[in-house]
Amino acid sequence: MLMKDESRGGDVSDRRDLADADRGLIGTLEPMVITAADGRVVWDMDQWSFLDAECPDTVEPSLWRQAQLTAKHGLYEVSEGIYQVRGFDMSNMTLIEGDRGVIVIDPLISAETAAAALALYRRHRGDRPVSAVIYTHAHLDHFGGVLGVVDAATDVPIIAPEHFLEHAVSENVYAGVAMLRRSYYYAAVHLAKSPTGTVGIGLGAGGSTGTPGLIAPTLEITHTGQEETVDGVRMVFQMTPGTECPAEMNLAFPDRRALCMAENATHNLHNLLTLRGAQVRDPRIWSRYLAEAIDLFARDSDVVFASHHWPTWGTEDIVGYLTQQRDLYAYLHDQTLRLINKGYVAAEIAEMIEMPPALEKAWHTHGYYGSVNHNVKAIYQRYLGWYDANPAHLWQHPPEAAGKRYVAALGGQEATVAAARGFGADGDLRFAAELASHAVFADPDDRAAREVLAEVLEQLGYGAENATWRNAYLTGARELRATSIEHTELDSSGMAPALTVTQLFDSVAIRVVGEKAWEEGFAIAWTLSDTGEHFHMELSNGALIHHPTAGTRDADLTVTLTRPQLLALLSSGATDGVELAGDAGVLARLNALTDAPDPDFAVVTP
């Protein structure tokens, strides 16, 4: 659908994006369905064919246009020797041809989709070996499919920014269960792909459900200006920590006049705090790194591409595009701080900020994935935290207790539901949702309250330009109408081999049930016989503490094992070949003090 909204770029900008999204298409899969070894479908782009139609009333028109663009898929030539596979997962796989092989940048989420993307490239460009893998940053959709392009025992360089592994683990292991469950809302995993369901996530069509893995980096990029030549390809790196990811980098190919912006400049306003949860990103430094990229690379580039969306060609257009992206994050940062220092709180500032006309007119600054509203709240959180300084908000009741009190104050459950229905009928969907949510938390078995809230959330979703807001609203409506929560698939086992020993022990420590462990106490000495590492672990005051030591210390139990044996012990309790000296029952005592995470916790109900 060709839109002609002059306030949002008009049909000239629209035609350019449509042309750029199609430019260089070589071929795709028919059908566009990828399966796992057991036949399970892990990616199906054919489900998005409904986007070929005109925009329906149930989708905001600008979001419909973005969804049409992100649903395009196939192998594309970016420039001579540079190719991208798009639409095979949430992210793009970029392939840089070298003297003898091909360098893979960001191998998608799953081994299955990554393997299919590489196979498509080889079908059209020849069976080139993979000569290196580059992770631009530490999010799953940029490394999870690595085992689909190289073997776990590969000797090719795995290149990543400094501190990559630390942040890959913090997001995908430490808080991984909660983030995954929340991502089922913002990515609408269980919603139908349809005009009344999900139309994507703005950044891409969605995420694959195959097998993620991780190979630890073997070559770290530590500073801007670092230059590496791999397979005859010269690359110059720009470190951008604290932008879209705590560990991230851009890279230029000066001999090919091409620039990769990782996920720091895509065709939408990005998240400063993603709805799945993450560390708050720094828009001030994000803007400055974009400015630096313009100075370092943009004027010497003929094409800029990223790990999502489509490229931009032409030096003048590249500079203009990156300049607007730069100004976007700077404006949000500076105006939020200006209003913070006038005493406004996050919810107020989020309603007050208007974007400059030139930025509002550009399609690529729109909030299809991030939004001005929740990004402003993230900036407030980054500087001042959750507390808005009003003592009335310092110690509020949690949702279930608050809901019961609101219902009592409003005259009971029926009166509260009726009031919510009335506000919805009057078009105040936001307050209708608030009242109906209180009613649901006061009595989650009240089907009338659940249905009113579901209807309100549905209407909020249909009107949202932001894809992740739409998905969250519609997923909430779906769960309110369901009799049970659909299972969240949780499998981080593919990442475990790449974790450090400290990270493995941390994954145990965060599962200790504190109150069960208050009166317990023991010490374990760990020796990794194949790496020569020694660790001392103590359970003290409900906290499982560990740290590396120069040698073994006195302990209730001394465990000597290899790293593979440690992985087996922690995952299944297997002790085959493990040397235990002392009280072997300590391991059982520790296991009894832990619990399993709940990947199916309630969100829109108590």
pLDDT per residue as tens digits for the range 506-546: 999 999 999 999 999 999 999 999 999 999 999 999 999 99
Q: Does position 198 have pLDDT exceeding 60, yes or no?
A: yes
Q: Does position 1 have pLDDT exceeding 80, yes or no?
A: no
Q: Does position 254 have pLDDT exceeding 90, yes or no?
A: yes
Q: What local confidence, expressed as pLDDT, does residue 493 receive?
A: 67
Q: What local confidence, expressed as pLDDT, does residue 6 receive?
A: 37
Q: What local confidence, expressed as pLDDT, does residue 16 receive?
A: 76
* Sheet-wide strand order for 522-528: 543-548, 533-540, 522-528, 557-561, 579-582
Q: Does position 9 have pLDDT exceeding 70, yes or no?
A: no
Asked if residues 305 and 84 have their Cβ atoms less than 8 Å apart, the reply is yes
- CB crowding 542-572: b at 16 or more within 10 Å, else e: bebebeeeeeeeebbbbbbbeeebbbbbbee
Q: Does position 215 have pLDDT exceeding 80, yes or no?
A: yes
Q: Taking the model in full, what pTM does it have?
A: 0.92
The three-state secondary structure class of 350 is: helix
Nearest C-alpha neighbor of 527 from the set 582, 598, 459: 582
Q: Does position 572 have pLDDT exceeding 50, yes or no?
A: yes
Q: Does position 14 have pLDDT exceeding 70, yes or no?
A: no
pLDDT per residue as tens digits for the range 341-390: 999 999 999 999 999 999 999 999 999 999 999 999 999 999 999 999 99
Span 380-404, mean pLDDT?
96
* 551 confidence band (pLDDT: 50, 70, 90): confident
CA dist 442 and 407 (Å) reads: 7
- Pairing label, strands 522-528, 25-27: unpaired
Q: What local confidence, expressed as pLDDT, does residue 4 receive?
A: 34
CA dist 381 and 297 (Å) reads: 33
Span 49-76, mean pLDDT?
97
Q: What is the mean pLDDT of the chain?
A: 94
- Pairing label, strands 82-86, 93-97: antiparallel
Span 299-311, mean pLDDT?
98
**What one-character-per-residue DSSP string does 135-182 give?**
--BSSGGGTTTGGGTS-TT--S-EEEETTHHHHHHIIIIITHHHHHHH
* 7 confidence band (pLDDT: 50, 70, 90): very low
Asked if residues 305 and 106 have their Cβ atoms less than 8 Å apart, the reply is no
Span 436-465, mean pLDDT?
98
Asked if residues 60 and 109 have their Cβ atoms less than 8 Å apart, the reply is no
CA distances from 11 to 7, 22, 318, 363 (A): 10, 16, 20, 11
* 15 confidence band (pLDDT: 50, 70, 90): low
Asked if residues 208 and 43 have their Cβ atoms less than 8 Å apart, the reply is yes
Span 217-222, mean pLDDT?
98
CA dist 367 and 373 (Å) reads: 9
Q: Does position 605 have pLDDT exceeding 70, yes or no?
A: yes
CA dist 275 and 475 (Å) reads: 13
Alpha carbon 483 to its chain's center = 28
In 15-157, which ranges are E strands?
A: 25-27, 33-35, 41-44, 74-79, 82-86, 93-97, 102-105, 130-134
